[in-house]
């Protein structure tokens, strides 16, 4: 009985540590959204240039993460994780010391790639270390770290930056990284062996049609939500008639609702995840379409937006496990690389949704965003139906 408790507690502490890592990385990534004005003023750059710190991070994350993950997966995970956390801390220190846009964007790009690899390795460690029946809920729990970063880390970091200066915010994220490093030294498992393979062997995973098909599932479901969420402030102000001083409160509540999305993701992934996601995305599409009609009512509009938040990350755990299971089946040496694909797809989806939303707003109106988002969610459902059918054929 004591051994079972020790075993259980050990896994809970590991899950907490990996979630702490994603929280710290998420705070470092997202906090710049609340500090664009301060950074723009201090560095004497246009606000649009400051905004490229966000897009630059996403692009570096999406491109650099799978490549670097494929390269470093040959090294033992325990020392590799500690080295990467150290680089993450160093990147935030350089951001804190930055006195020019060039230095700041360089530090953010490096931090983006390091964060992406850390996320992939965290998922891989959870997959290898946790009991099989707990994998889906634990992986969903680790993703919660990014959500909590949006709900708590970003507002806290923004307040620190506004009360003191934006440099202090990155000193804070560096300090949080230091805490994560110390805990990781004692908690991360040391017995997970490295996977010996070349980068070309890792990238060969994309020769599998099921991998490519599955990659675009999170791209389109996340894009569906971000087509609307990118313009959530003007929607709240112009369509729902919410005063500017209450926007922050609404976004905070939205963040809390998105936490339930991660819990829902764990439930979906526990049994026949792909099968359940087929219909989950149809429900998401209906919610997004519904916003077109509920924008005329403040309370109904707010209810629809909160339901959007609940559906936001429903895809994560299922697709993450699916990628790793496919890698185990077709190319066991590429498991770490496979672990990087979900967060990369999410970042691609954010970029795609924002771009489509911008095009819709420029050529039409805010109302039409709901139709664009709903169509993207339906595409995600179609892709999931196709993935499910391919998977079922292989099991016959």
The tens-digit pLDDT sequence of the chain (396 residues) is 344 444 467 888 888 999 999 999 988 887 876 677 788 888 888 866 777 787 788 788 888 888 888 788 778 889 999 999 999 999 999 999 998 999 999 999 999 999 989 988 888 888 888 887 777 778 878 888 888 887 788 778 878 887 888 899 999 999 999 999 999 999 998 877 666 666 676 677 777 888 889 999 999 999 999 888 878 878 888 889 988 777 778 877 888 888 888 788 888 887 788 888 989 999 999 999 999 999 989 999 999 999 999 998 888 888 888 888 888 887 777 777 787 788 888 888 888 888 888 888 888 778 889 999 999 999 999 999 999 888 887 665
Tell me, what DSSP letter sits at residue 241? -
SS3 195: coil
The dihedrals phi and psi of 241, each to the nearest 5 degrees, come to 70, 30
Closest-CA residue to 225 (of 344, 315, 116, 341)? 315
Instruction: Specify the pLDDT at position 36.
Output: 73
CATH code of the domain occupying 197-396: 1.20.1250.20
What DSSP line would sit under 35-80, residue for residue? Answer: GHHHHHHHHT--HHHHHHHHHHHHHHHHHHHHHHHHHHTTS-HHHH
Q: Within its chain, how far is the Cα of 371 from the centroid?
A: 24
Query: Tell me, what's the pLDDT at 218?
Result: 93
From CA 314, how far away is CA 291, in angstroms rounded?
Answer: 19
What pLDDT does 127 receive?
81
Residue 47 pLDDT: 67
Position 395 scores a pLDDT of 65
What is d(CA 71, CA 119) in angstroms, rounded to the nearest whole number?
15
The C-alpha torsion from 258 through 264 and 265 to 270, rounded to 10°, is 170
CATH of 1-194, one of 3.40.640.10, 1.20.1250.20, 1.20.1070.10, 3.30.70.980: 1.20.1250.20
Joined together, the tokens standing for residue 96 give 């804190």
CB of 323 closer than 8 Å to CB of 211: yes
Token readout for 80 is 């590799």
pTM of the model: 0.78
Residues forming CATH 1.20.1250.20 domain(s) in the chain: 1-194, 197-396
For 130, which DSSP code?
Answer: S
Question: Whole-angstrom Cα distance, residue 142 to residue 317?
Answer: 9
């Amino acid at each position: 009985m004591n051994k079972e408790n020790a075993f259980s507690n050990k896994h809970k502490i590991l899950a907490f540590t990996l979630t702490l890592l994603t929280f710290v990385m998420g705070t470092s990534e997202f906090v710049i959204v609340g500090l664009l004005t301060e950074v723009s003023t201090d560095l004497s750059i246009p606000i649009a240039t400051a905004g490229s710190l966000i897009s630059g991070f996403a692009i570096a994350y999406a491109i650099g993460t799978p490549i670097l993950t494929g390269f470093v997966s040959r090294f033992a995970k325990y020392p590799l994780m500690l080295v990467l956390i150290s680089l993450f801390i160093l990147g935030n220190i350089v951001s804190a010391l930055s006195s020019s846009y060039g230095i700041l964007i360089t530090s953010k790009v490096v931090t983006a790639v390091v964060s992406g690899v850390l996320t992939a390795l965290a998922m891989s460690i959870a997959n290898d270390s946790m009991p099989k029946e707990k994998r889906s809920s634990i992986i969903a729990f680790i993703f919660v770290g990014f959500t909590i970063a949006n709900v708590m880390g970003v507002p806290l970091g923004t307040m620190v930056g506004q009360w003191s200066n934006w440099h202090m915010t990155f000193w804070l994220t560096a300090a949080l990284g230091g805490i994560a490093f110390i805990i990781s030294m004692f908690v991360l498992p040391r017995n997970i062996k490295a996977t010996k393979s070349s980068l070309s062997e890792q990238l060969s995973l994309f020769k599998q049609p099921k991998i490519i098909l599955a990659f675009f599932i999170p791209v389109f479901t996340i894009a569906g939500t971000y087509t609307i969420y990118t313009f959530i402030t003007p929607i709240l102000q112009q369509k729902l008639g919410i005063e500017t001083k209450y926007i922050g409160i609404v976004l905070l509540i939205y963040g809390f609702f998105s936490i339930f999305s991660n819990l829902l993701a764990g439930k979906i992934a526990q049994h026949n995840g792909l099968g359940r996601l087929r219909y989950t995305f149809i429900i998401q599409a209906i919610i997004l379409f519904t916003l077109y009609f509920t924008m005329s009512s403040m309370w109904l509009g707010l209810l629809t937006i909160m339901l959007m938040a609940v559906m936001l990350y429903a895809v994560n755990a299922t697709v993450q496990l699916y990628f790793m299971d496919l890698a185990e089946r077709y190319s066991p040496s590429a498991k770490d690389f496979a672990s990087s694909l979900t967060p990369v797809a999410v970042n691609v989806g954010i970029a795609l949704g924002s771009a489509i939303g911008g095009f819709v707003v420029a050529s039409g109106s805010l109302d039409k965003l709901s139709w664009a988002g709903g169509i993207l969610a339906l595409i995600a459902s179609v892709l999931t139906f196709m993935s499910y059918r391919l998977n079922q054929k292989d099991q016959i």
